[in-house]
Amino acid sequence: MPEGAFVVAVAFLTIVAPIWIIFHYVTKWRIAKTLSADDEKMLADLWHSAAQMEDRIRSLEKILDAEAPGWRAKAP
């Protein structure tokens, strides 16, 4: 292999390749920081489910308060 090709190969491996790899992973990390459309939908569904469960718990607490007034004292 001629000396010129060797110098170019060494320069590529020591300068260009590491910078290329760093920029590649920086781009991947920036993309990973944002939520995808599926993640946003799942988060919205979880938020809706949590609100429904909160309403159900409030309803159950009202029923228990009416039917068994001392139930809160009995709970551990």
* Residue 74 and residue 41 in one domain: yes
What digits encode the pLDDT tens for the residues 45-58? Answer: 999 999 999 999 99
Residue whose pair of structure tokens reads 């489910």 in the numeric block: 49
Percent of the chain residues topping a pLDDT of 90? 55
Contact between 71 and 64 (Cβ < 8 Å)? yes
Same domain, 25 and 6: yes
* Confidence band of 34 (pLDDT split at 50, 70, 90): confident
Percent of the chain with pLDDT over 70: 96
Q: Exposure string (b/e) for 8-30, b if CB count within 10 Å is 16 or more?
A: eeeeeeeeeeeeeeeeeeeeeee
Same domain, 39 and 17: no
Q: Do 48 and 22 share a structural domain?
A: no
Residues 13 and 24 both lie in one domain: yes
Residue 10: CB partners within 8 Å, gap ≥ 6? none
What is the domain range of residue 70?
Answer: 35-76
- Tally of structural domains, the chain: 2
- The answer to whether residues 42 and 76 belong to one domain is yes
